[in-house]
Structure 1
Amino acid sequence: MLREYEDYLRGKGYSPNTVLSYLNDVNQFLKDLNLRPDDYVTSADIRKWIQQMLHPDEGKPFAVSTINRRLNALRNFYGWAVEQGYVEQNPMNGIADLKTADEDQETIMWLTEEEFEDLLHRMRKMLAHSRGVDPEEKYRRDRAIVYLFVYAGLRVEELSNLKLTDIDLEMKRLRIVGKGMKVRTVPISNILLAELQDWLAFRAEMSKKKPHVAASPYVFYSQRSPKFSVRGIQRMVEGYSLPGKKLTPHMFRHTFCKWMLKATNNDIEKVRRLAGHSHIATTSRYLKDSYSDLADAVEALPKF
């Protein structure tokens, strides 16, 4: 049964590390409770295991992040087992992730679709009254940057280092050099493609007028430098902050992850690969629902 599950994970395109992590966590659960993969398991068994990890007979308690990672592995495993008919009921139903002592939902903030639309309007309006810069040039550059953050999930360092040769418009893909020099390929959606085409065409015109642009291998430049620095991008983003919500490049990345989970019906592995997360536990943070998500779910209940 576990061999079939392993084949399923590999068939879904999960990375070798993710497959190994899932299998190790499932095997640890079975070992700790002296179970076989197809044994009848209840939610009470899961809760018992959680308590064992929180209050072990020997050694230190497991970190909440480790427990939540293991719970996510069991959700995946038993969800598959139910679909395959190996078990009748999913024992993970009703089992929620544990909260950390300092956990705060607001530590992960993202933009709603309405806020993003409002941001685009504010950018155009603010730049119309800017001084000392070409408002059209700045608007096109800043808009392209925002779209790359939100529709490709780039880190600010990745965006600053993005070169013209990293963009393949014909094949609709980006080559991203991430943390630890790890390279990943991110598909370019049609909406992002249009924005990039617009900016690159405008940039080509600017290269005829500005030597530092013509000499730059980077996609984005500043007024005087051939490369738009990380700090410069951060200041640019902060300058467009919404009322009551300070904008940061990482908030845009949070937005990408949150929107992608919704678009993929919570396919956490796809989002992990697109975002360039090394560990699936990092991506799982975005599964947490905001209060507005919960309110929308309640409103979606049948009405009689």
Structure 2
Amino acid sequence: MENITFDDLLDHYFHVKLLRPATQWSYRKVVKSFIKDMKKQPWEVDSQTVLAWRREVLTGQRLEARTWNNKVAHMRAIFNFGINEGVLTHKKNPFNGVVVRAGKKKKKTLTKGQIEAIYLLMQQYYEQEQQLAQSHRRSSKCALYPAWFWMTVLDMLRYTAIRQNQLQHIRVGDVNLEERWVDLRTEGAKNHCEHRVPVIRALYPRLHELVTRSLEAGAELTDPLFDVARFDVRRRKSAMSIYPLRAFFRRLSKDCRFPVSPHRFRHTVATHMMKSPDRNIQAVKRLLGHVSIMSTMEYIDEDVDALREILEQELM
């Protein structure tokens, strides 16, 4: 098919592959960035175009090699599909052989002080919100309101290490408060595997409050649990989408003056537990839902304090 647009190619790709909405969004985001940078459609793309884009991404925009390789993976998959389906006339995929070596970085985690700062900030917003409610005044529109709801989100991420997509797919009926566990659905799992995470004592109070309020607001057991629109009349009535979640963490990061994200909580839990890998490696593997133990091993980090003590003993 000559002169097929990226929109048509993506629509065809998604129709055949039946990808998740979040995955479709990631493909569209990469394609959108390519069109913005290079202003070309599929039939115009050749190896020189890709190399020019690589220079723009790595040198012009100064993005990391890992980001570039992620973009390449998406574009290569789309072009492989188009070539195999006969909708692209390329004899060779122009995105083959253009990845770059990415250095291995430490997992991005949150320090104990940063976690305390996050909760202190949210507690301030919670108290302000309570004061306004007592005086029958409505709080200003803010991504951190309702504060009690977002503090529950933080607790869920902090004490279960689940992914953002898993959080969005938890339904009211997936929470068993009596036996204290939460079922994570296949729809939200990166590896398409369902598994169960425990509800520890620190998580229980806010999670219990969220379930109770959700049921009182008329939620069914099959409805999403973490649906902020259920408790904020100013938001559009819809299931918990990625947008309010991103807005929350964007505003939280701005107010805290350091990056905060769902994955930083996940990395923090895993890295902390893997300080004793001999005891915790299987537990962390189950908690994170990893299929391969090698994925879990990546969270073993060097203990700087222990290393300092060894050096002082050996070298002093």
Same fold (TM over 0.5): yes
Unaligned runs of 5+ in 1: 1-99
1:109 match: secondary structure: coil
CA contact (8 A) 2:224 2:239 kept: yes
CA shift, 1:262, in A, is 4.0
In structure 2, relative to structure 1, the CA distance for the partners of 1:296 and 1:118 (3 Å cut) is farther
Structure 1 residue 285 corresponds to structure 2 residue 298: yes
CA distance in 2, matches of 1:243, 1:133: 15
Cα offset for 1:243?
Answer: 4.6
TM-score using structure 2 length: 0.53
1:255 aligns with 2:265: no
Opposite residue 201 of structure 2, the aligned amino acid is N
Residues 218 and 173 of structure 1, relative CA distance in 2, 3 Å threshold: same
- Cα displacement string for residues 15-43 of structure 1 (whole angstroms, at most 9, x for unaligned residues): xxxxxxxxxxxxxxxxxxxxxxxxxxxxx
Maintained 8 Å contact 1:237/1:247: yes
Write the distance in 1 (CA, Å) between the matches of 2:205 and 2:276: 20
Unaligned runs of 5+ in 2: 1-100, 130-138, 230-235
Q: Which residue of 2 aligns with 1:295?
A: 305
* C-alpha contact 1:266 1:287 (8 A) present in aligned 2: no
CA separation of 1:123/1:186 partners in 2, compared to 1, >3 Å: closer, same or farther?
same
Partner residue in 1 for 2:75: none
**Residue type of the partner of 2:140?**
R
Offset of 1:271 from its aligned partner?
A: 0.3
Shift of 1:155: 0.7
What letter matches 1:247 in structure 2? V
Structure 2 residue 135 is the aligned partner of structure 1 residue 123: no
* Residue 113 of structure 1: aligned partner: 112
Separation in structure 1 between the aligned mates of residue 115 and residue 196 of structure 2, nearest angstrom: 25
Give, in angstroms, the shift of residue 255 of structure 1. Answer: 1.5
In 1, Cα distance between the equivalents of 2:110 and 2:142? 28
Alignment partner of 1:273 is 2:286: yes
Residue aligning to 1:3 = none
- Following superposition, the deviation at residue 216 of structure 1 comes to 7.1
In 1: Cα distance, 2:115 partner to 2:206 partner: 15
Partner of 1:190: 201
The answer for the alignment partner of 1:154 in structure 2 is 162
Alignment partner, residue 239 of structure 1: 251
Query: What RMSD, in angstroms, separates the aligned Cα atoms of the two structures?
Result: 3.1
The residue correspondences of 1:6-155 to structure 2 (distance < 5 A) are: 102-105=103-106, 108-126=107-125, 128=128, 131-132=140-141, 138-155=146-163
Is structure 2 residue 220 aligned with structure 1 residue 222? no
Task: Name the CA distance, whole Å, in 1 between partners of 2:246 and 2:147.
Answer: 16
Using the TM superposition, give the Cα deviation of residue 272 of structure 1 relative to its aligned residue in structure 2, in angstroms: 0.9
Instruction: Tell me if structure 2 keeps the 8 A contact 1:234–1:249.
Output: no
Query: In 2 relative to 1, CA 131–171 (structure 1 residues): closer, same or farther, beyond 3 Å?
Result: same
Query: Amino acid of the residue matched to residue 179 of structure 2?
Result: M
Say which SS state the counterpart of residue 286 (structure 1) adopts.
Answer: coil
Paired residue total:
193
CA distance in 2, matches of 1:197, 1:115: 26
Judging changes above 3 Å, is the alpha-carbon distance between structure 1 residues 226 and 265 closer, same or farther for their aligned structure 2 residues? farther
Secondary structure at 1:175 match in 2: strand
Secondary structure at 1:181 match in 2: coil
| Distance apart, 1:201 and its partner CA | 2.7
Alpha-carbon distance, 1:132 to partner: 2.7
**Quick one: which of 180, 203, 210 aligns to 2:214?**
203
1:111-138 Cα shifts (integer Å, max 9, x gaps): 1222212111111224537513697x61
Residue deviations 1:171-204 (CA, integer Å, cap 9, x gap) = 1111112224311111111111122112223334
- Aligned to 1:190, the other structure's residue is in SS state coil
Alpha carbons of structure 1 residues 294 and 266: separation in structure 2 relative to 1, 3 Å: farther
SS in 1 for 2:197: strand
How far apart, in 2, do the equivalents of 1:199 and 1:215 lie? 13
Which of 145, 152, 165 is matched with 2:173 structurally? 165
SS at match of 2:298: helix
With over 3 angstroms needed to count, the CA separation of the structure-2 counterparts of 1:124 and 1:188, relative to structure 1, is: same
Distance 1:217 1:187 in 2: 21
Among the aligned pairs, what percent are the same residue? 21
